[in-house]
A and B are shown apart, each in its own frame.
Chain A
Amino acid sequence: MATFLFTHALRDYLRPKRVVTWVALAIALFAVGKVFMLSSTDTTPAEAYQLLSGLIVFRLLALMSAIFATAIVSQEVEQKTIVYLLTRPIPRWQMLLSRWLAAAVAVGGIAVIAVLANALSTLGGFSPAVARDLLAIVTGAFAYTALFLLVSLLLNRAMVVCLIFAFGWESAVPSMQGELYLLTINSHLNVIAERAAGDAQGVMSALAGTAKKIPLATWQAWLALAGIVTVCTMFNLSWFSKNEYVPREDGE
């Protein structure tokens, strides 16, 4: 049953109509990388890769996570199709877990295309940095979607909150003084990706979330992200199992 739920949700998330824009964006990164390399002669391929990765790929990851994660439950409620899911003999936790995994895999899969497009255009192939990025991006897909799912279960206007988090909090906070970076996912992903701080200078570096050296060991970053995924998931499963999900106008 869990397998069917997962594949059913994955098929839904990977419908051409739904992913065409994202895949196009990911592939367009190849062209962006080429243009960047041609226009910026004093930047090494490794620096260009890292900058584009931080600036675009990991932002794309957060954006996709926000959109896919909020769709897991909210979209079903808004489209009123939630009734078909909640009146089936499936434990709610199983339903949510399968759908969340499918969303995370879909997001991770598309983000992997973006990583590879970036690598091909800037580095011209594979490298250890790309491997680390792939690892970070897949981890990030699970962390972001788990967190945004939690937000969507708690708040009505979850998308706005998620986008503010993805583009405001995640970009600004890692560069701030003190230890606020601990409250971001991006900082931990940068540690896993072993991204060097400040290679790309100034505003670009700040936007890429690499302006400041993150004083964390890799294992600490793994632990923190595992904690985020576990806590958010446990909360999500418990919350979804106990609460009612009736289309809004029907519940008034």
Chain B
Amino acid sequence: MIVMDSVSRWYGQVIGVNDVSYQIGPGVTALLGMNGAGKSTLMRLITGQVRPTTGSITVFGEEPFANPGVFERVGYCPEIDNFYEYMSGREFVYTMARMNGMNDATAKARAGEMMERVNMGHALDRKIAGYSKGMRQRVKLAQAMVHNPDVILLDEPLNGLDPVGRREFMGYLGEFSAQGKTIIVSSHILFEVEQMTRSIMLLNRGRLLAAGDVRTIREYLDRYPHRIRIETPQPRELASRLIALPYVLKVDLDEWSQAIELQTRELNQFYEVLPQLVLNENIPIRGVTSPDNNLESIFKYLIEA
């Protein structure tokens, strides 16, 4: 559906996207990276606002730059917080609907429907200038969805949304995904992404650092030690047993909170052995967690690698 082949994009001397090759299909894909990683540039390339400096990008088999055929099937919720402030939310979404080729009656109906859908029914005819940040985010989302696109790109969509709004937004993503749409979401907040999808593209300084399922990315990391935290009332005893295992590289004792944190390269083997060891030695375990079990750690690993 979206095919990037060695895409690079320079802004003068600054590189926005550097030699990215990847294909994005239906479902939710997250563009993950810090500010300046190239997420927004990649979105601009996909939405045909800019051209690649080198390489190629196609959406539904066509080059997207200034291509109305592609825009008919793409909805874009930009990161910017700029609007035609003198318009009401409904008027803005209606205008965007008209620009998507709908006639007056359809656009009116659809604009109202989408505003209701993003819970803006109470402020349909208020000027956008008077909207809160969260309301503005919702209006942006409504205009991106108003023409029922096949591909939806959402650039930092959770900015400014309160917890309720975030939960609702996650719900929308789930709905779109279930409809077979392609959704691309960018974020620099890792726990947010984890809640949205397992399919990620990890960008850093314009480069695609890793891509695919979070679990697949984890496999890239096998040569890096994984950290495991075990809570137990007998941390010294457990530490002495575990350090004897050949694939346990290091054990840190945290007696104050009654826990140990160890590092291992063989995660699967460790988890196979741990229950038996605990049962044999009769050491109670209160909890096992992995500090690496989030995208932030993976991101850190990959950048440092």
Name A residues whose Cβ lies closer than 8 Å to a Cβ of B: 1, 4-5, 8, 12, 15, 17, 79-81, 83-92, 241-242, 244-247, 250-252
Q: List 28 A-B contacts (CB under 8 A).
A: A1-B98, A4-B98, A12-B84, A79-B82, A80-B82, A81-B84, A83-B80, A84-B78, A84-B99, A86-B48, A86-B66, A87-B47, A88-B68, A88-B96, A88-B100, A89-B69, A89-B71, A89-B99, A90-B68, A90-B71, A90-B99, A91-B68, A241-B66, A242-B66, A244-B51, A246-B44, A250-B40, A252-B11
Q: Does B301 reach chain A (CB closer than 8 Å)?
A: no
Q: How many angstroms between the C-alpha atoms of A85 and B98 in the bound complex?
A: 11
Q: How many angstroms between the C-alpha atoms of A81 and B140 in the bound complex?
A: 12
Q: Does B83 reach chain A (CB closer than 8 Å)?
A: yes
Q: How many angstroms between the C-alpha atoms of A83 and B143 in the bound complex?
A: 12
Q: Mark B222-240, 1 if CB is under 8 A from A, else 0.
A: 0000000000000000000
B48 neighbours in A (Cβ, 8 Å): 86-87
Closest A residue, CB atoms, query B155: A83
Closest B residue, CB atoms, query A8: B95
Check A87–B50 contact: CB distance below 8 A.
no
Check B78–A83 contact: CB distance below 8 A.
yes
B69 neighbours in A (Cβ, 8 Å): 89
**Contact residue among B51, B74, B101 (Cβ-Cβ distance under 8 Å from A87):** B74
Check B49–A86 contact: CB distance below 8 A.
yes
Check B101–A84 contact: CB distance below 8 A.
no
Name 17 extra pairs, CB < 8 A, besides A88-B68, A251-B11.
A5-B99, A8-B98, A12-B84, A15-B86, A80-B82, A84-B78, A84-B99, A85-B99, A87-B49, A88-B96, A89-B71, A89-B99, A92-B66, A244-B49, A244-B50, A245-B49, A247-B80
Q: How many angstroms between the C-alpha atoms of A247 and B68 in the bound complex?
A: 21
Check A87–B76 contact: CB distance below 8 A.
yes
Could you tell me the distance in whole angstroms from the C-beta of A11 to the nearest C-beta in chain B?
10
| Residue among A80, A83, A84, A244 with the highest chain B CB neighbour number at 10 A | A84
Could you tell me the distance in whole angstroms from the C-beta of A6 to the nearest C-beta in chain B?
12
B80 neighbours in A (Cβ, 8 Å): 80, 83, 247
Given contacts A87-B49, A241-B66, A244-B51, contact A4 B99 (CB under 8 A): yes
Q: Does B14 reach chain A (CB closer than 8 Å)?
A: yes
A242 neighbours in B (Cβ, 8 Å): 66
> Count of A-B contacts with CB under 8 A?
68
A250 neighbours in B (Cβ, 8 Å): 40
Check A88–B71 contact: CB distance below 8 A.
yes
* Interface size classification for chain B: 20 to 34
Q: Does B296 reach chain A (CB closer than 8 Å)?
A: no
Check B44–A84 contact: CB distance below 8 A.
no
Closest 10 CB pairs of A and B: A89-B68, A88-B99, A89-B71, A80-B82, A89-B72, A80-B80, A87-B76, A83-B78, A244-B50, A4-B98
A5 neighbours in B (Cβ, 8 Å): 99
Q: How many angstroms between the C-alpha atoms of A17 and B44 in the bound complex?
A: 33
A246 neighbours in B (Cβ, 8 Å): 44, 49-50
A15 neighbours in B (Cβ, 8 Å): 86
Could you tell me the distance in whole angstroms from the C-beta of A191 to the nearest C-beta in chain B?
39
Q: How many angstroms between the C-alpha atoms of A86 and B51 in the bound complex?
A: 13
Q: Does B163 reach chain A (CB closer than 8 Å)?
A: no
Closest A residue, CB atoms, query B83: A81
A252 neighbours in B (Cβ, 8 Å): 11-12, 14
Check A83–B49 contact: CB distance below 8 A.
yes
Q: How many angstroms between the C-alpha atoms of A241 and B12 in the bound complex?
A: 21
Given contacts A12-B84, A244-B50, A246-B50, contact A84 B98 (CB under 8 A): no
Check B40–A89 contact: CB distance below 8 A.
no
B44 neighbours in A (Cβ, 8 Å): 246
Closest B residue, CB atoms, query A95: B99
Q: Mark B86-99, 1 if CB is under 8 A from A, else 0.
A: 10000000011011
Check B101–A89 contact: CB distance below 8 A.
yes
Could you tell me the distance in whole angstroms from the C-beta of B63 to the nearest C-beta in chain A?
13
Q: How many angstroms between the C-alpha atoms of A4 and B94 in the bound complex?
A: 12
B12 neighbours in A (Cβ, 8 Å): 252
Task: Please provide the chain B residues from 21 to 48 with a CB less than 8 Å away from any CB of chain A in the complex.
Answer: 40, 44, 47-48
Q: How many angstroms between the C-alpha atoms of A5 and B100 in the bound complex?
A: 11
Q: How many angstroms between the C-alpha atoms of A90 and B69 in the bound complex?
A: 9
Q: How many angstroms between the C-alpha atoms of A91 and B71 in the bound complex?
A: 10
Could you tell me the distance in whole angstroms from the C-beta of B93 to the nearest C-beta in chain A?
11
Could you tell me the distance in whole angstroms from the C-beta of B75 to the nearest C-beta in chain A?
8
Closest B residue, CB atoms, query A80: B82
B74 neighbours in A (Cβ, 8 Å): 87
B95 neighbours in A (Cβ, 8 Å): 8
**Contact residue among A1, A92, A245, A247 (Cβ-Cβ distance under 8 Å from B101):** A1
Check A84–B68 contact: CB distance below 8 A.
no
Could you tell me the distance in whole angstroms from the C-beta of B33 to the nearest C-beta in chain A?
16
Check A89–B76 contact: CB distance below 8 A.
no
Closest B residue, CB atoms, query A84: B96
A92 neighbours in B (Cβ, 8 Å): 66
Q: How many angstroms between the C-alpha atoms of A52 and B121 in the bound complex?
A: 53
Check A83–B101 contact: CB distance below 8 A.
no
A85 neighbours in B (Cβ, 8 Å): 99
